[in-house]
Amino acid sequence: MSPNQRPGRALQAALAGIIAAVLIGVAACSPAQPIQLATLTPSTPSPTIAGPTVARVAWNDCGGGYQCATIQVPEDYAEPGGRKIGLSVIRLPATDPVKRIGSLLVNPGGPGASGVEFVQDDITLFPASLRSRFDIVGFDPRGVNLSAPIRCQDNLDGHVALDRSPDSKAELEALVDDARSYAEACATRNADMLAHVSTDDVARDLDLIRSAIGEPKISYFGFSYGTLIGALYAEMFPTHIRAMVLDGAIDPALDLEQLRSGQARAFETALAHFLADCAKDKSCYFHEGGHTRRSFDAVMASIEKHPLPAIRAKDRRLLTTGLAWQAVAGVMYNDAAWPALAIGLALAKRGDGSVMLLLTDPQNGRNKNGSYSNLIDAYTANTCLDFPASHDVADYTALAARLKSSAPDFAGLLAYNDLSCAFWPVAATRVPASVSAAGAPPIVVVGTTGDPATPYPWAVSLAGQLSSGVLVTRRGEGHTAFGTSACVQRAVTTYLLDLKPPRNGLTCD
């Protein structure tokens, strides 16, 4: 499963390019859940954690109006005087310095997504009213991109192409062998860092970033996995917060099985909505006379038996069943990308896996030249530290069997998602638990009813755990809300500027 992050401008641009490249060809060959979570009792609030000091940041011009810096933080917070690692940080200074409020620290999600690239590539996500009053500050969390990156394997083509929903002994053995060798490679190449990339560590880093940029209190905006960073930060440092927005919330109390079970069901619901929408719309490229579900099942079954060449893309890779399901899952993050998936399925039915294959590349961190960012490596390393995982492969198989009735399409994909953690050389360090952040100002938690990656009940749960939680709901499809709902954007922007939180329970269509 790909990392949880908000769909960015780079992905949207890639989708637009894919559609433009193949649209004429397709036209020529085409015929005229709610998940109930247990009530969570807030944990006893912990006092603000005292930490090491850090030097004031020295900004350097890095082009385009941006300023960049590296902040030195302890590799191991148990030994704050020991080895240091550098965190890469970027900011776009407020356009109205006279009315500047301070810094708005942002994180796009992941784990594994670059906050530096997010601020560079997606700055217009933040309206001009925010950019005029705030320095927009992004950072690469430890282990990610430019911040002491975790690197396991240089070429991940074979790793990502595997069938993640094994239905035979041979397929399961291949998946287990790959998970074991991947974990071993991570251990070999990251002996020092592998134990120090949990979200607890990232939350402590965030407070040192706050100190280094000279802010007595931070305003923070986290998307997707960035909400877990924010929630843990609020629990550790509740009095260091000016304002906090958590969009696409992760419930910090969930264990790994609860996390993947919730996602499997939510992705199943999202796929059903996509297929039903296409079946009702005769202009959908995969309308199939209204028999979209039946045709979808047939295409996916065919790909599992016979991986497809990427003819139009002129790519030597084959579209395997593993990559095909990654394409489907990735598009569920953003309903604006549904037409691209419809085109991909229409081409696949005709024997060309080009669009489906290309849809997987942005979510896997694969570059045009065939190299990979460290998105997957950082994602896996963080997940294996954040969530205690079973070391018995049979437990993953049992979870897949339990999920089959409620999530038949995504049961295996999510159940085996973290199989590498079964062989991880470092034990998990974070203990999933509820948070209360007693003493924090209002914290706005945003959830989308049709979110497949961070299901809506997680936002409800997190807002209820927080002593000052304010829940905002967007009715709709896709992952995160700020970039797709004017109503949410108005409410959140007003809060960040004026510290006037929206009404708890505000619902936006």
In tens, the pLDDT along 459-504 reads 999 999 999 999 999 999 999 999 999 999 999 999 999 999 999 9
How does pLDDT run along the chain (509 residues), one tens digit per residue? Answer: 555 676 655 455 555 555 544 443 443 333 332 222 222 222 333 445 556 889 999 999 999 999 999 999 999 999 999 999 999 999 999 999 999 999 999 999 999 999 999 999 999 999 999 999 999 999 999 999 999 999 999 999 999 999 999 999 999 999 999 999 999 999 999 989 999 999 999 999 999 999 999 999 999 999 999 999 999 999 999 999 999 999 999 999 999 999 999 999 999 999 999 999 999 999 999 999 999 999 999 999 999 999 999 999 999 999 999 999 999 999 999 999 999 999 999 999 999 999 999 999 999 999 999 999 999 999 999 999 999 999 999 999 999 999 999 999 999 999 999 999 999 999 999 999 999 999 999 999 999 999 999 999 999 999 999 999 999 999 999 999 999 999 999 999 999 999 999 999 999 99
SS3 content of the chain, % helix, strand, coil (to 5): 45, 15, 40
In tens, the pLDDT along 392-451 reads 999 999 999 999 999 999 999 999 999 999 999 999 999 999 999 999 999 999 999 999
Q: What is the pLDDT of residue 47?
A: 44
| Main-chain dihedrals φ then ψ at residue 35, nearest 5 degrees | -105, 120
User: Which residue carries 């969570």 as its tokens?
Assistant: 40
Q: Strand (E) positions, 289-442?
A: 308-310, 315-319
Q: Helix 354-364 crosses helix 9-29 at what angle (to 10 degrees)?
A: 170
Angle CA 196–469–253, to nearest 5: 40
- DSSP characters over 179-206: HHHHHHHHHHH-TTTTTS-SHHHHHHHH
Rounded Cα–Cα distance for residues 22 and 350 (Å):
13
Length of the chain: 509
Question: Please, which residues bridge with residue 67 across strands?
Answer: 61, 91
Rounded Cα–Cα distance for residues 466 and 60 (Å):
38
Nearest alpha-carbon partner for 135 in 109, 108, 100: 100
Q: What is the pLDDT of residue 30?
A: 34
Percent of the chain with pLDDT over 70: 90
Instruction: Please report, as a single letter, which amino acid is at residue 110.
Output: G
Rounded Cα–Cα distance for residues 429 and 119 (Å):
30
Q: Which domains does the chain have, with CATH numbers?
A: 4-29+281-359 (no CATH), 60-280+360-509 (3.40.50.1820)
Rounded Cα–Cα distance for residues 252 and 264 (Å):
18
Rounded Cα–Cα distance for residues 475 and 508 (Å):
6
User: Which residue carries 């696409």 as its tokens?
Assistant: 248
| Main-chain dihedrals φ then ψ at residue 212, nearest 5 degrees | -65, -35
User: Which residue carries 């390019």 as its tokens?
Assistant: 17
In tens, the pLDDT along 184-202 reads 999 999 989 999 999 999 9
Q: What is the pLDDT of residue 53?
A: 86
In this structure, what token pair is assigned to residue 97?
């310095």
User: Which residues are annotated as catalytic?
Assistant: 224, 451, 479
User: Which residue carries 């193949």 as its tokens?
Assistant: 22
Give SS3 for 237.
coil
> CB of 372 within 8 A of CB of 365?
yes
Distances (CA, A) of 116 to 62, 68, 159, 287, 310: 12, 9, 26, 40, 32
Rounded Cα–Cα distance for residues 50 and 418 (Å):
33
In this structure, what token pair is assigned to residue 243?
């304002």
Quote the pTM value: 0.92
> CB of 229 within 8 A of CB of 198?
no
